[in-house]
Amino acid sequence: MNGGSGRCLCGEIRYAFDGAPNWQVHCHCESCRRATASPFTSFLGVSRDKVRWSGKARASYASSPGVTRSFCPTCGTPLAYESAARAHEIDLYAATLDQPSSFRPERHVHWNEHLPWISLADRLPVHYTPRRLTGEEAMEPILNLVRAAFAYMDGVVDPPSSVHRLTETGIAGAAREGEVWVLEELGRPLACLFLTPKPGRLYIGKLAVAESHRRKGLARQLLAHAESRARDLGLPALEMQSRVELTGNHAAFEAMGFVRAGETAHEGYTRPTSFTFRKAVSDRAP
């Protein structure tokens, strides 16, 4: 799509934009569903300075802090979503395009909020919105997720993984004293990671993905979120550790921009037992 135009149902408001959209997605969040009375909403993001409006003035509604949704005051057609967090662009509704067949969705976002009676076979990648645990939730599902994800280390790493000492109480404490984030689908945890702010860095621990959802980019999504949290906290680097035996993990971390920055030994061992990996946090979000 290289430019386009669209209108509301009654035609009293029109828009046009130049150039290709910045992105094109299907959104499954509850607020967009309610705003459009549809099971999911299809958006294209366009740089604000490339959009032109004509006809009647749009009406608007502040649906949440920093978010404004505009619509036609005559026919009620939703027309645009604007966020203070992304002041440089405006999100247009794909179904209002004069040629909606030109829309080319790239992925599903807020998939963790999708309706259970929606079944899609487009094979597009899905993006989940992480949820931060408060420490008051039942932690058994998170404990089971971590234990299952780390089970492959048994008999491989020496000394045994600290996951064997992890408890529900310990996870609740980690959520209160640091941060525990989880990706969920229909209430089931699919992936998680623990974050601990330290001087000059944000430490990542217990990155775990359910076996049923591996190779779907969930670890990358959580690590991208960790980078966002580091920016919010003013910390210039991410840090994690991996046992020396887990060479496959080392390669995966390096492919995601981490570099080996040191080594440590567990108490009682004269050889390195873990490698430290670090990644510089960019000043701006991608």
Q: What are the extents of the domains in the chain?
A: 4-113, 133-280
Q: Are strands 107-109 and 23-27 parallel, antiparallel or unpaired?
A: parallel
User: Among residues 245, 250, 243, 283, which one has the least CA distance to residue 264?
Assistant: 243
pLDDT in tens, 203-218: 999 999 999 999 889 9
Q: What is the mean pLDDT of residues 9-23?
A: 96
Q: Is the pLDDT of residue 164 over 90?
A: yes
User: Among residues 199, 206, 203, which one has the least CA distance to residue 167?
Assistant: 206
Per-residue confidence band for 121, with pLDDT thresholds at 50, 70 and 90: confident
Q: Is the pLDDT of residue 286 over 70?
A: no
- Annotation: CATH topology of 4-113: 2.170.150
- Looking at the chain, list the stretches that DSSP marks H as alpha helix, in order from N- to C-terminal side: 30-36, 140-150, 168-177, 218-233, 247-255
Q: What is the mean pLDDT of residues 242-266?
A: 94
- Annotation: CATH topology of 133-280: Aminopeptidase (3.40.630)
Q: Is 64 exposed, middle or buried (0-12, 13-18, 19+ CB in 10 A)?
A: exposed
The pLDDT of residue 61 is 95
Both tokens of 165, joined, read 């000492």
Q: Is the pLDDT of residue 151 over 80?
A: yes
